[in-house]
Amino acid sequence: MENLPSSLLLEILSRLADSTDLARCRLVSKTLNTVSHDIRSVTLFCSMSRYLKSRSPETKHLVTPFKTVFTDLVRRSRNLDTVSLGVDRALGTISFDDVEDECDDLYLTDFSFFKEWLPLISEGLKSLTVSDFWVQSCWRRSDALSLISSSCNTLVKLVIRNAWLSVDSLNSMPTLTNLTLEFVRLDDEDLSRISSSFPNLIELNLIGVGGLKEPKINLLHLRTCQWSVSNAPLSLIICAPNLVDFHLKCIKPRLIVLDAPLLHTFNLSLENTDELNLKNCTNIESLQLNIECISLGFLCSMFCHCSTVNRLTVDLVRKTDRVEVTEFGLDTLLDFFPNISYLNLGPGAWFVMESSFRKGGLKESIGMKTLKELVAHLVVQEIESTLAFVSCILDKCMKCSDFYLLIHRDVDSYVAGNLISTCKSKFPRVKWRWGIWKEGIKDTLVSDGI
């Protein structure tokens, strides 16, 4: 390999997924060692096997400390712009009961550890990912954000997982456009410091961020946001005039206010709320609702001004017996969303719609005239009732040409086959597709186009 051009050697070394291999290559030859100093990216993760060896009395003296290995890699690399360090996901299964000491050897958001290596590469750093070891980091408050914000003037992307982060002395980072905080305890109850310190964010991901009471996102340039709230804040307020794609998952907030005039795709997973206030959200075209609430009609009525919705996915999770099934059928749903061409009903929603149909049938609906594609996740309890519901839908939805029947895996194969064959023979104009669904497993499409 030493006879290869330096540019080609650098390309090969840059493709190593684990920089531990890079450290080994440096020991193989002087040429590889010299070329390796010009790599642009370092990725180093502590594996479960390495962790166990470092804890075993028989092998721990043979294991170089993880922080030492990483710091040495950084010091020997002159032109880094991307750094990823962390612990393997398998270490997330380790609990406090499994740890007998108070070590900090894998406390990776430790401020003193950051000071050892970050200033060496901060000038050209563009992407930084740190996945900490929760057992060691969750009870140690870190000031790493302040050091990152004061020294990394070219940083574009920042990802931090499994840490307790302070926002004290946080400086503005106008170059940062992509921020992900995942399973983080954050000392910023209203997110005001995040919004003010990272004003030019285009993508924001807050996954399981705790410590929030009345958070407010106010970002003028934000286009994509994924927010999974781990606790039950009093309110959520999102003001983002350029937001296009928003995924929100939360538990019983009293108030949700969303001001996003350009919002196109909205995925909402919600366990009830007193008020959902959509301000200027009149351009939503794709809407997904996964909800647990007392009244499905109450929530859907919040979207009554979103006549632009043409793709709708609805499911009701848990406690479906609390939903007013006699007052909310498929026709009512389509009245709220009169212009949809695609409808995906999860198992809870299908159950509610079919139960409502058995009690009162279906009335004419404006939305039924536009529906072209329907996906149904169902558990066949009474095949005649299900067939009657499907037949009534297709009698009224004359433009519906694609029907996906996703049947629960535990339904008897004879019953499922009977349902499918009957649907095919009764409505030959429809392109039937069928498959299997089960809780916690991705849908499986068995036949595409019958």
Q: Per-domain residue ranges for the chain? A: 1-39, 300-450
Tokens of 426: 């009764």
Rounded CA-CA distance 202/388 in Å is 48
pLDDT at res. 253: 82
Rounded CA-CA distance 415/380 in Å is 8
pLDDT at res. 325: 45
The pLDDT averaged over each successive group of 10 residues in the chain (450 residues) is 58 59 61 61 88 90 91 84 91 74 88 95 94 93 96 97 95 97 93 95 95 92 93 87 96 88 94 82 92 72 82 78 60 88 93 87 80 93 90 90 93 90 91 91 77
Q: What are phi and psi of 182, to 5 degrees?
A: -130, 125
pLDDT at res. 94: 81
- HEC string of the chain equals CCCCCHHHHHHHHHCCCCHHHHHHHHHHCHHHHHHHCCCCEEEEEECHHHHHHHHCCCCHHHCCCHHHHHHHHHHCCCCCCEEEEEECHHHHHCCHHHCCCCCCCCCCCCHHHHHHHHHHHCCCCCEEEEECCHHHHCCCEECHHHHHHHHCCCCCEEEEEEEEECCCCCCCCCCCCEEEEEEEEECCCCCHHHHHHCCCCCEEEEEEEECCCCCEEECCCCCEEEEEECCCCCEEEEECCCCCEEEEEEECCCEEEEECCCCCEEEEEEECCCEEEEECCCCCCEEEEEECCCCHHHHHHCCCCCCCCCEEEEEECCCHHHCCHHHCCHHHHHHHCCCCCEEEECHHHHHHHHHHHHHHCCCCCHHHHCCCEEEEEECCCCHHHHHHHHHHHHHHCCCCCEEEEEEECCCCHHHHHHHHHHHHHHCCCCEEEEEEEECCEEEEEEECCC
Nearest Cα residue to 69 out of 108, 31, 39 = 108
Contact of 117 with 74, CB cutoff 8 Å: yes
pLDDT at res. 356: 86
Rounded CA-CA distance 181/208 in Å is 8
Which CATH architecture describes the domain 300-450?
A: Alpha-Beta Horseshoe (3.80)
pLDDT at res. 320: 45
Rounded CA-CA distance 182/204 in Å is 11
Residue tagged 């997973």 (tokens): 269
pLDDT at res. 390: 93
Rounded CA-CA distance 435/447 in Å is 7
Nearest Cα residue to 167 out of 157, 181, 177 = 181
Strands 255-259 and 275-279: parallel
Contact of 272 with 256, CB cutoff 8 Å: no
Query: In angstroms, how far is CA 424 from the centroid of its own chain?
Result: 37
Rounded CA-CA distance 272/253 in Å is 7
Rounded CA-CA distance 412/423 in Å is 17
Give the up-direction half-sphere exposure of residue 66: CA atoms within 13 A in the CB hemisphere. Answer: 25
pLDDT at res. 140: 93
Tokens of 361: 């049938």
